[in-house]
A and B are shown apart, each in its own frame.
Chain A
Amino acid sequence: MALDALRRRSATRHGTTRVVRGSRFRIGAIVRTAFILLYLGFLLLPMYWAAVTSIKPQEDLLRDPPVWWPENPTGIHFTTALNSFNGWKGLENSLIIASVTTVIAVIIGTAAAYSMARFNTGGKHLAFWFLSQRMLLPIAVILPVFLLYSRYADAWFGFTLVDTKTGLILLYTVFALPFTVWMMYAYFRQMPVELEEAALVDGCSRLQALAKIAWPLAAPGLVSAAAFAFIFSWTEFLFAQVLARDSAVTLPVALAGVVTGFQGNQYGEASALTMVSLVPALFLGILVQRHLVRGLTLGAVQG
């Protein structure tokens, strides 16, 4: 009896199932490829449409049936968007704001993470407090921050924060800190302490050990934390829309202005500005691909 069962099992394993499975694999592969292609279409169509819109001459924009490739591609929308729709200003501001935010968030975030990882500062509670900041509701923060910035900042601190790059940088740093701290916290905890201890024995101070040993070793983690901070500041919209309407205008705000401030059709300009703003984020995105999962889940899932 038992032998029968075993033989049947081994027969199905070596004989029939393999054949059945072979054909099933082929069907599976077809379904799989079809699904991937379908998704790829869904992904690429809107992107392609925006890209081709940015180089269409004005008369092709509103044509029906739609024009999938213009006969006379033009770069006019790029120059118009950059020159007369706050394009250059937005680009410059976004670059400055995102870069400074990234530098500050990475430096002070890494310091905090190092302190938590090596000295267990604040224990679990502080770590989770940082994490809970990730749950903050932006609209709940921006309402009072707007009031403080616009009504009281001048009187209390003696400098203007509304519609300034400083104001946005401060706010962005706060929102970039939780994931900078958590990513680096996870990173430092995985790193062996022996090297730093050796440096301490050799007469380094703690700060030297941090600067000369821990930071260089954590470089890959630093790069992806920095990239995430940059991408966040580069793409953020709500805070910038509220706080920076003119002299500190960022690229997403400039873009929203073109999209929604209808004066005839500005689809070409809007698409051109979109294309411009995509470039740095995509470049950084590809750079951090290996750390993507860890970054998205604040280290909860190891990618």
Chain B
Amino acid sequence: MDRNIRWLLIAPSVVLIVVLTIFPLGFAIWTSFVQFDFSIGNDHPWVGLDNFRTNWEDPVWRHSLWVTALLATTSVAVELAIGLLLALAMVRPFKGRRVLMVLFVIPLFMSPVIVGGFFDLFLRRPFGPANWLLSGLLGHDVAIDFTIDSPWTYISLILADAWQWTPFMFVILLAGLTAIPDTLYEAADLDGAKPRQSFFFVTLPLLTPIVMIAVTFRFIDAAKLFDIIYSLTRGGPGTATYTTSYYLYQQGFELFHLGQGTAGAFMFMIMLTVVAFWLVRRMLKPLEA
């Protein structure tokens, strides 16, 4: 009985995943080698590697890869830095800490479209308060088109992403910090270590595995950036802030070049898998040691 029930229990999950991801991805392999374009017609003649080549020769595609890499690495770096500082600031108990903890994690439960919308509302000139606040702080008039002028568009996107995901780094690093036993700090103190030394020789080495986990998870998600682009810059100005996901969305669902879109999705997926694999290997290394 047990022999059957174990498979019975696991079957629904496996079947559902296979039917809705593995099967479509197999179908997509075919799609990416034929002409599949709602704007052309219903025939699907074999075109070999043309779909892949079209992507590769499209400067917008190549630029989108750079934008994706740039935004993902910068956002993750910013989030790691702020998240770590915040975790260090919050690690000891103090009055009001519990309320702050609740406030700090709120962005994690929001739709990224909403976060993009928040920043659009906040940064938009002339009636968003960002320029007004900056003018007041700096003492002279500031008029920045955050969602139109490069490089401000990139900065706005990183700000929005950091706003939403810094809490992710923060809660994970805080859990890591809390897990470091006090006795280690006492031992370091006994040996005459200054606070800075105990940070570099106790905290950092013990935190590294958790930093790796947090960075891996966050980077893989950051490379898929789509929603915030959609509601904050819409890829603009022009195609300057197209991430690869946004580019593929445009190809597939605005222009209906579905063959080219799926081919591009495969190319991007392979690149992302290589990076993810490398990151996961690095992530698991300290755990095994």
Q: Chain A 46-86, CB within 8 Å of chain B: the 1/0 string?
A: 11011001000000011111101000000000000000000
- Whether the pair A13, B27 counts as a contact (CB closer than 8 A) is no
- Whether the pair A137, B172 counts as a contact (CB closer than 8 A) is no
Interface residues of A: mostly helix, strand, loop or mixed?
A: helix
- Whether the pair A237, B12 counts as a contact (CB closer than 8 A) is no
Task: Find residues 18-65 in chain A having any chain B CB closer than 8 Å to their own CB.
Answer: 21, 24, 32, 35-36, 39-40, 42-47, 49-50, 53, 61-65
Q: Chain A 178-221, CB within 8 Å of chain B: the 1/0 string?
A: 00010000000000000000000000011100100000000000
Please judge, given known A-B contacts A61-B127, A63-B127, A206-B5, whether A109 and B109 are in contact too, CB under 8 Å: no
- Whether the pair A64, B126 counts as a contact (CB closer than 8 A) is yes
- Whether the pair A238, B27 counts as a contact (CB closer than 8 A) is no
In the complex, whether B10 has a CB less than 8 A from a CB of chain A is: yes
Q: Complex: how many Å from CA A115 to CA B14? A: 12
Q: Complex: how many Å from CA A40 to CA B100? A: 8
Partner of B265, one of A63, A140, A285: A140
Chain B proximity of A91: nearest CB distance (Å): 13
| A39 nearest in chain B by CB position | B86
Please judge, given known A-B contacts A9-B192, A285-B108, whether A143 and B113 are in contact too, CB under 8 Å: no
In the complex, whether A177 has a CB less than 8 A from a CB of chain B is: yes
Please judge, given known A-B contacts A112-B14, A116-B10, A303-B175, whether A252 and B265 are in contact too, CB under 8 Å: no
Q: Chain A 89-102, CB within 8 Å of chain B: the 1/0 string?
A: 00000000000000
For chain B, give the interface size range.
35 or more
- Whether the pair B217, A296 counts as a contact (CB closer than 8 A) is yes
Please judge, given known A-B contacts A284-B109, A293-B175, A297-B213, whether A174 and B122 are in contact too, CB under 8 Å: no
In the complex, whether A260 has a CB less than 8 A from a CB of chain B is: yes
- Whether the pair A139, B25 counts as a contact (CB closer than 8 A) is no
- Whether the pair A237, B195 counts as a contact (CB closer than 8 A) is no
| B213 nearest in chain A by CB position | A300
Chain A proximity of B80: nearest CB distance (Å): 14
- Whether the pair A36, B89 counts as a contact (CB closer than 8 A) is yes
Q: Which chain A positions have C-beta within 8 A of B245?
A: 137-139, 238
Please judge, given known A-B contacts A116-B10, A255-B114, A286-B102, whether A260 and B231 are in contact too, CB under 8 Å: yes
| B136 nearest in chain A by CB position | A65
Question: Nearest 4 CB-CB pairs, A to B?
Answer: A285-B109, A235-B111, A140-B265, A144-B28
B: residues with CB less than 8 A from A are: 1-2, 5-7, 9-10, 12-14, 16-17, 20-21, 23-25, 27-28, 31, 36, 82, 85-86, 89-90, 100-114, 116-122, 126-129, 132, 163, 168, 171-172, 175-176, 179, 189-190, 192, 195, 210, 213-214, 217, 220, 224, 226-227, 230-231, 234, 245, 248-249, 252-253, 258, 261-262, 265-266, 268-269, 272-273, 276
